[in-house]
Amino acid sequence: MPTPQYFIGLLSGTSIDGVDCILADFSGTKPSLLATHSEPIPKTLRDNILTLCADRALSLVLLGETDVALGRVFSHAVNNLLKKANLTTSDIMAIGSHGQTVKHHPAGPDAFTLQIGDPNTISQCTGITTIADFRRKDMAVGGQGAPLAPLFHQAYFHDDAVRRAVLNIGGIANISLLKHDLQNDLIGFDNGPGNVLMDSWINLKQDLPYDRAGQWAASGSPHPDLLSRLLDEPYFALPFPKSTGRELFNLDWLQRKLVGFEDVSDADVQATLLELTALSIAQSIDWTSRGIQEIAVCGGGSHNKTLLGRLSKLLPDIKVFSSAELGLSPDWVEGMAFAWMASKTWKGEAIDCRSVTGARKPCILGGIYLAENGSKPPL
Ligand SMILES: Nc1ncnc2c1ncn2[C@@H]1O[C@H](COP(=O)(O)OP(=O)(O)O)[C@@H](O)[C@H]1O
Ligand SMILES: [Mg+2]
């Protein structure tokens, strides 16, 4: 048995539905997921994150305080995970913390992206060396900073025997077309809205966090004209590399598109939003000419049966299934991705994001925040 190499992956995604925290062992040829924990985000903190994302009445004090408060919640998540796994800080090589995106602005000469959840706080409150700030490093070498998960999808889900894609349906949906042989590149891009619009609408109309299994959407019918208006969004026609977030797809965006469609019932709007997610994914590339045979789905949207049913109908020649069938629960794929990235940084290994984010060269992602008594990377 090789000596275990335990890394923790930590993140809160666009949906802000909780902090995902996973423990994985990277000593084998394939990482193995050993323990998981989901840490709730207190309501006030979530509201503050949403205020920062919306970029309204922004105060630097709110930004700084939310950064540290979230760092503490991330630390609780790690400490709770360690209790569950019956491990101590000294067992862990490092934490890979994605943080919480509050602004993703990949266009223009001073493109930037900002993830908060202070890694200094995390390394101090857990006693574990913390690696964070993965996206800004990619941007510093000319990349979009997102999506980064396709690199892990390639490493974990690639199979020589089949042309496979991985679809992550989080708040935003991102697609990875795995590199199959030396002839093609790994392709990965943010497709557009995953759950974020459906979540916003059901939250506004029914005060629920999300539409369980897409049942409310299934009770309505997509409205063709509204759907066309939503699909008119220029982002969908952009070539990749491309990445997006809440700054584009949010409740304000939806409400602007709804002007003139006041007669459409709330359930029909939800059905239209689900159809938008399904159609925009199905139409994002020519799946057939790229020879894709199957799509492994991960992220919370993989639990939306109505959505997966629609996707299977729209792509009849492709097998659409949960990543659980490939041995990794859809809820923990992103957490695994950031533990994996931390393991690479720890070893001083560069990650080649060129074909996904448009980065100019492979680079070692992230910054390292050493804990005094924690493990030190062998750099
Ligand atoms: N049972 C379910 N039915 C429908 N949607 C679900 C279900 N469980 C989770 N989701 C959706 O998944 C979202 C969370 O997905 P997640 O992968 O964590 O996204 P993110 O990375 O943006 O945080 C929830 O906000 C919700 O929209
Ligand atoms: Mg989430």
User: Please, which residues bridge with residue 320 across strands?
Assistant: 295
CA 39 to ligand 2 centroid distance, Å: 10
Find the mean pLDDT for residues 108-125.
Answer: 96
pTM: 0.96
pLDDT at 2: 86
Q: Where are the alpha helices (DSSP H) in 55-195?
A: 60-85, 119-126, 134-140, 149-157
Predicted pLDDT at 182: 65
Give the model confidence (pLDDT) of 296-315 as tens digits. 999 999 999 999 999 999 99
**DSSP code per residue over 328-360:** S-GGGHHHHHHHHHHHHHHTT--B--HHHH--S
Question: Is the confidence at residue 378, as pLDDT, over 90?
Answer: no
How far is ligand 1, taken at its centre, from the CA of residue 190, in Å? 16
What are the distances in angstroms from CA 260 to CA 39, 82, 217? 41, 53, 21
**CA–CA dist 100, 7 (Å, integer):** 19
- pLDDT score recorded for residue 184: 79
Q: How many residues does the chain have?
A: 379
pLDDT score recorded for residue 379: 63
Q: With 90 as the cut, is the pLDDT of residue 56 above it? A: no
- pLDDT tens digits along 235-262: 999 999 999 999 999 999 999 999 999 9
Residue 377 has pLDDT above 90, yes or no: no
Q: What is the pLDDT of residues 31-46, one digit of tens each?
A: 999 999 999 999 999 9
Q: Ligand 1, residues 11, 22, 46, 195: which to mutate, most atoms within 8 A of Cβ?
A: 195
pLDDT at 128 > cutoff 90? yes
Residues 284 and 289: their CA atoms lie apart, in Å, by 13
Over pLDDT 70: what percentage of the chain?
Answer: 99
Which residue puts its alpha carbon closest to atom 18 of ligand 1? Answer: 300
Hey, whose CA ends up nearest to atom 19 of ligand 1? 170
The residue among 248, 250, 224 whose CA lies nearest residue 235 is 248
What is the pLDDT of the chain when averaged over all its residues? Answer: 96
Query: Is the Cα torsion angle 244, 248, 254, 257 positive or negative in sign?
Result: negative
- pLDDT of 374 > 90? The answer is no
- Starting from the edge strand earliest in sequence, which strands make up the sheet with 187-193, in order? 187-193, 172-177, 164-169, 294-298, 319-322
Range with lowest mean pLDDT among 47-56, 71-80, 165-174, 225-234? 47-56
Instruction: Judge whether residue 62 has pLDDT over 70.
Output: yes
Task: State the DSSP code for 324.
Answer: G
pLDDT of residue 373: 84
Mean pLDDT score, 149-154: 97
For the chain, domains (ranges, CATH) are 6-141+332-369 (3.30.420.40), 149-327 (3.30.420.40)
Distance 183 CA to ligand 2 centre (A): 34
